[in-house]
Amino acid sequence: MAMAGLYRRILPSPPAIDFASSEGKQLFVEGIQNGTMEGFFKLISYFQTQSETAYCGLASLSMVLNALAIDPGRKWKGPWRWFDESMLDCCEPLEKVKANGISFGKVACLARCAGAEVVAFHTNQSTVDDFRKYVRACSTSDNCHVISSYHRGTFQQTGTGHFSPIGGYHAERDMALILDVARFKYPPHWVPLSLLWEAMDTVDEATGLQRGFMLISRLQRAPGLLYTLSCKHESWVSIAKYLTEEVPLMLKSDTVKGIEDVISMIFSSLPPNFADFINWVAEVRRQEDASENLSEEERGRLAMKEEVLKQVQETGLYKHVTDLLSVGASICRIKPTLCHMDDLPNIAARVCCQGAGLLAGKTGSSDRFCCRETCVRSYRANGDRTVTVVSGKVVGGNGQQEIDMLVPSLAKNCCNSSLDSCQGMHPDSNDILTALLLALPPETWLGIREEKVLQEIGSLLSTENLPLMLQEEVLHLRNQLLCLKRCNDKVEEDLRAPSL
């Protein structure tokens, strides 16, 4: 009985040369001898096949992130932290990527959200000579990798737009090695670099923009430890626009006479779903995988998060935010959309459901889980420090899971019905809002007309006055905000790293 389907494709050669052919092997050997295959070995160690037909961008990125040994900071399966396509969903819902693929700009956005240093170029922002220099530079190092976005038709291959990493370079023949992540279709192959440039110098019909290439490397500083911005919700575009465009215009008002006016004006006009835009980074684990002892890595990460939180609360800005939100009205009276930022039962239930989805390999599917019960408890881990854990019993999927979430700081035990009475616990809206205000670009405040207020806000918000860990956290958030604003396809023309 015949079975419908396709089994691979014959690689059109020329123009491509199969990596495993005699000629392909010779190019490889000569590339090694000339030192332009250094990046190949890390990439090939993590070479993967895209798991969905439209996941080429996600597969290319997860492969490069793992090759760079960037820690995702959250578990993939079991106890293992590892980048997988299913974890790359902060800039575009996976179901949307599965159906329509992903744009060049959003792959760059994903890489930055994942903690990588990214410099991205559409072909109209670079030249073939510059591209050659970048490919050669990354091919002589294992600290930088190139992902190319190109049109397959230029190589006489079937299909249209595609992403894949470049695994090496042969200088004498000016050929690049494409590690095609659609391995079910074509094997790795060498192509003339000038022809690869032509394939990139095509227009993506979905965005109306030219394709291009991006250089991905490890950040010289650590990514955010405690806070991150999310664009999973469609409202992220309007929120980013509000913070970067509307707030500076609002602050030009003659009614801004003091710091309290500045803070109140920003908080009182926050867009809907703002509380879903900035999140704190949680670490979850199954209770059966856990014990009352923490690993050295878990202790280290928890200690750093607690230090960042402490440094936020020691800023002068934090005191102004706290005073404003406690005088005469709660934060819910200033802006109802922020209420659940301090609703610990809701936070615990949501995070435990998200954790259950992550640990079950179903990222983004927390709505399929229901948290029956939550409890906050503290204990002495490893006999030397108090650790606070939010525990939840989550139902869904294949039954019930018991999930633990490590929390940077909680003051006391409070379970079930008494969970509502837990005060002074992280995450707290005062901490989060303070961090976000610190992360707004410096030009946000330039329209303030009162010179005294402008000087005071400048002193409170200067990153130069912050401790190093908090400074890095704030710069990470600022970088995310600027990148998210430009991740919308309508504004992704300039994707090179923003100035901080």
Q: Give the DSSP H or E segment for 25.
A: helix 22-33
- Considering 122, 145, 151, 162, which one is annotated as catalytic? 162
All residues at 6 or more sequence positions from 319 whose CB lies less than 8 Å from its CB, including other chains: none
Q: Three-class SS of residue 281?
A: coil
What does the angle CA 421 – CA 283 – CA 486 come to, to the nearest 5 degrees? 105
Tokens of 232: 């999973």
The answer to whether 358 and 284 have CB atoms below 8 angstroms apart is yes
- Considering 84, 89, 180, 404, which one is annotated as catalytic? 180
Nearest to 366 by CA among 346, 383, 387, 384: 346
Is 180 a residue of the active site? yes
Q: Tell me the H-state helices in 340-410.
A: 344-359
| CA 42/CA 63 separation, integer angstroms | 10
Q: What single letter denotes the amino acid at residue 2? A: A
Is 340 a residue of the active site? no
Q: Three-class SS of residue 108?
A: helix
Is 56 a residue of the active site? yes
Distance of CA 42 to the CA centre of its chain: 22
| CA 99/CA 107 separation, integer angstroms | 16
The answer to whether 406 and 387 have CB atoms below 8 angstroms apart is yes
User: What secondary structure does DSSP assign to 437-493, as a single string?
Assistant: HHHS-GGGGTT---HHHHHHHHHHH-GGGS-HHHHHHHHHHHHHHHHHHHHSGGG-S
- Cα–Cα distances (Å) from 341 to 328, 368, 380, 492, in that order, read 19, 22, 27, 31
Nearest to 170 by CA among 15, 21, 13, 36: 36
Angle between helices 38-45 and 128-139 (to 10 degrees): 70
Q: Give the DSSP H or E segment for 436.
A: helix 429-439
CB atoms within 10 A of CB 269: 13
| CA 246/CA 240 separation, integer angstroms | 9
- List active site positions: 56, 162, 180
